[in-house]
Structure 1
Amino acid sequence: MKKLLMIDTTWPINSRTERFRVSLSKKYLVHVSAWNRGASKNDSVQCHDILDSNIKYGNRFGKLFLLPKFIRHNVRVVENNSPDIIFASHWDSLICAVIAKKITGSTAKIVYDCLDLPSSSNRLLLKLLKTVEGFSLSYTDFVIFASRYYPDLYNLNQSYLVYENYPSRYSAPVLDSSPSWYDLAKELKIESSASISWIGVVRYPEVLCNLILSIRALDVKLFVFGDGPSLDYLKSYVISEGLEGRVHFFGRYKYNELPFIYEVTDFVWAAYPTLDFNSVYAISNKYFESSLFCRVPIFSNNTKMAESLRGRNPSVLLVDEYDVDSISVTLSSAIGEDIINLPFCKYEEDVFWDDVEDKLFDALSGI
């Protein structure tokens, strides 16, 4: 079997890269090079080389300052493993892959998973990031895009594949019993007219706070499934607004708990801050999951997803995520029209990650 090295600047590696790791392990000997920037040291994991640096996630300057150290780490990993393919997730992993290949003289093919776009509120920094990505792309052999809207933003010479964040069919075993939080969530849902769920990494506090404020006058429960950098802040904010009885936190969840999460959910919050360029063009996993589980998604007005759905699907809500009144009025209207009890209109065919793996294997075999 050929050898494939995955490079990721986080640890644990992001969920999309982990899914690629599982898929690619069916055809390749996969080794992972990752960067643990958290406070605690990682446990040794087979077929993984992990660099520990206590700089904390979100510390951009610390990450930039120590990036050369992670590049040197990858040089050693490439030398020790002699991969046939280097798989880089995100633009910062790509520059590490390109430099490591150059220094070692490796003949490995470089595959870039463009899972999101370089972004910054600073125009000069954004220009620099795009320049770095453009330079790295000139040494890249194949590109994978996480959104159908990304290719139009690039002028590529190499081949590419659109491989979005489809739900997984086989990756997680079915639970024999319901999760520990399920009965409580079910009771809370019955107490109100509707439930809204945030599902995933808890971030974007400016938008989540708007959502919290929007439900103050509504008979609605907000469920937060997941943890993340904004979790503690959000809990404090809920207390400061006196909404402890309306907002409930259920912590981290496993992938095989998703059917239970969607069972206690009426509306799925998937309106991310569109001042971030990424959110405008991205296709989130909530887009696919909401259609799969027949739950009403809430998207931002200012997205490519909204353009494709506006006025065409009655089972989708569109809001201005920065306007509390917009969110509240839209939710109130949807609840009044009893939209959650109307037949759900699917806007996407049920597509599973596992079912399109062959496209990935065929693409990589041809580079």
Structure 2
Amino acid sequence: MKKLLLIDTTWPINSRSDRFRLSLMKKYAVIVSAWNRGANNNTICKENFYVLEDDIKYGNRFRKLISLPKFILHCLRVAKKENIEVIFASHWDSLICACLIKLLYKKNIKIIYDCLDLPTSHNKLILKVLNFIETFCLRYTSLTIFASRFYVSLYNSKINSVVFENYPSKSISNSYIKPEWRDLIENIKKDKRKIISWIGVVRYPNILSNLLAAIEKLDVNLFVFGDGPSLDYLKELTKNKKLCNKVHFFGRYQQQDLAYIYEQTDYVWAAYPTLDYNSIYAISNKYFESNLFKTVPIFSKKTKMAENLETFNNVLIVDEYNIEAVTNNIRDALDAGVSDCKFKKYEPDLFWEEQETKLFEALSSHGLLHNC
């Protein structure tokens, strides 16, 4: 088998990268190079995992940028030690690492780029630089994987590409395990309030603030599953607003917990800041998971994801920047009993494992599986 290096600038690696890792292990000997930027360097060593321990913390973009050369050197050392033939770059910052390894170490290394998110910055000059760097790196990329069908129109049609979105794994629908915090949830639900859940990385403080302002005026509970750079901010804001009786934190969850989480949830918050155009074109995990588990999603009205969903009575479309509108939209949905209506699916269920053939065909057609 060819040796493939999967580069991810987070630790643990994001769930999409891990699903790719499991799929690619069917065709490659997969090595992982990751970056633990958390304050607590307590990485559990695993075979075929090389994790750079750091202490710059997540959410600090400037410190990440100036520390990136150290991570690039780490990846270069791993590539040399393992005699890597193919690199899978998760996200555009990993693509920079992959291209430098190709240019500085081994010209015949093949690069697969997972375009998980679009390069983004509120600073227009920085954004131009990032777009230039990505475009330059794409010249050395054998295959680009788009995580959203809406990304395709933003890139040169001449690049080799395939759309492979954040389809849920069959394992999350087949497994139903009550987590250790199930008793706490069942106790909270005795008050009969409807549940709005935030599921995933806790970020976007301005949106979290708006959501909390809406929760303050509604007779609902907010469940927060996950952690992230804005978790402490949200906890402090909850405390300051004296909403501890309505906002409940459950920390990180496992993929096998999702069926239970969605069963306990009436509305899933998936309205992210559309001033960041990445949010306009992306398709979140919640898009597929809400459809799979028949739970009402709350999407931003300016997103491509929401464009064709306004006719579905089980989808809530909001302006995430307008607190009054968000409050009224949710209140109207509560009054109408939207979450109690029969759920109408907005697209057929697609599973990661069922789409693997499409992925392998794309890899093969671009010479990435030869001699495996």
TM-score by length of 2: 0.94
- Give the conservation status (yes or no) of the 8 Å contact 2:175–2:259: no
Distance 1:293 1:173 in 2: 11
Q: After TM superposition, list the pairs within 5 Å mapping 1:83-122 onto structure 2.
A: 83-122=84-123
Within-5 A mapping of 1:120-139? 120-139=121-140
Secondary structure of 2:253 counterpart: coil
Structure 2 counterpart of 1:223, one-letter code: F
**Is the Cα contact below 8 Å between 2:172 and 2:259 reproduced in 1?**
no
Deviation of 1:33 after TM superposition, in Å, equals: 1.3
Contact 2:173–2:259, Cα closer than 8 Å, also in 1: no
Residue 252 of structure 1 corresponds to 252
Shift of 1:194: 1.3
Q: Which residue of 2 aligns with 1:170?
A: 171
Displacement after TM superposition at 1:3 (Å):
1.5
**Equivalent position SS for 2:80:** helix
1:10–1:35 Cα contact (<8 Å) kept: yes
Structure 2 regions of 5+ residues with no counterpart?
A: 367-372
Which residue does the alignment assign to 1:57?
A: 58
The Cα shift of 1:44 comes to 2.5
Aligned-partner Cα distance in 2 for 1:227–1:363: 34
Contact kept? 1:192, 1:219, Cα under 8 Å: no
Matches within 5 A, 1:124-203: 124-170=125-171, 174-175=175-176, 178-203=178-203
Matches within 5 A, 1:166-315: 166-170=167-171, 174-175=175-176, 178-310=178-310, 312-315=311-314
**Partner residue of 1:68?**
69
Please state how far the C-alpha of 1:190 moved relative to its aligned partner: 4.1
Pairing 1:319–2:296 present = no
Structure-2 separation of matches of 1:244 and 1:331: 20
Q: State the Cα deviation string for residues 106-147 of structure 1 (Å, max 9, x = none).
A: 412111000000000000000000000010001111000000
Q: Matched residue of 1:121: which SS?
A: coil
Aligned alpha-carbon RMSD (Å):
1.6
Aligned mates of 1:44, 1:250 — CA distance in 2: 26
| Change beyond 3 A, Cα 1:171–1:257 | closer
Taking the aligned partners of 2:54 and 2:252, their CA distance within structure 1 comes to 24
How far the C-alpha of 1:30 sits from its partner, in A, is 0.3
8 Å CA contact retained: 2:110, 2:141: yes
Distance in 2 (CA, whole Å) between partners of 1:156 and 1:51 is 36
The CA deviation at 1:29 is: 0.3
The range that moved more, 339-348 or 126-135, is 339-348
The sequence identity of aligned pairs, in percent, is 56
Q: Structure 1 CA distance, aligned partners of 2:332 and 2:352?
A: 35
Residues 186-217 of structure 1 show CA distances to partners (whole Å, capped at 9, x for unaligned) of: 34234134111111111112111211111223
| Aligned equivalent of 1:350 | 349
Q: Deviations over 1:29-75 (max 9, x none)?
A: 00111222222333332112222232222222222222222222222
Kindly indicate whether the alpha-carbon contact (under 8 Å) linking 2:7 and 2:32 is maintained by their aligned counterparts in 1.
yes
Hey, what's the Cα distance between the residues in 2 that align with 1:78 and 1:278? Answer: 31
SS state at 2:158 partner: coil
Aligned length: 365
Secondary structure of residue in 1 paired with 2:170: coil
Give the 3-state SS of the residue equivalent to 2:233 in structure 1: helix
SS at match of 2:216: coil
The reply to whether residue 363 of structure 1 matches residue 362 of structure 2 is yes
Deviations 1:93-114 (A, max 9, x none): 1111111111112412111000
Match of 2:20 in 1: 20
**Contact preservation (8 Å) 2:318, 2:325:** yes
Query: CA-to-partner distance for each residue in 1:334-361, whole Å, 9 max, x for gaps?
Result: 1111111111110021111111111111
- The Cα of 1:172 is off from its aligned counterpart by 9.0
Q: Secondary structure at the residue paired with 1:309?
A: coil
| Distance of 1:75 and 1:156 partners within structure 2 | 31
State the SS of the aligned residue for 2:166.
coil
Q: Distance in 1 between matches of 2:287 and 2:81?
A: 40
Q: 1:20 to 1:105 in 2, by over 3 A?
A: same
Mapped partners of 1:156, 1:78: distance in 2:
30
Q: Displacement, 1:321? A: 0.6
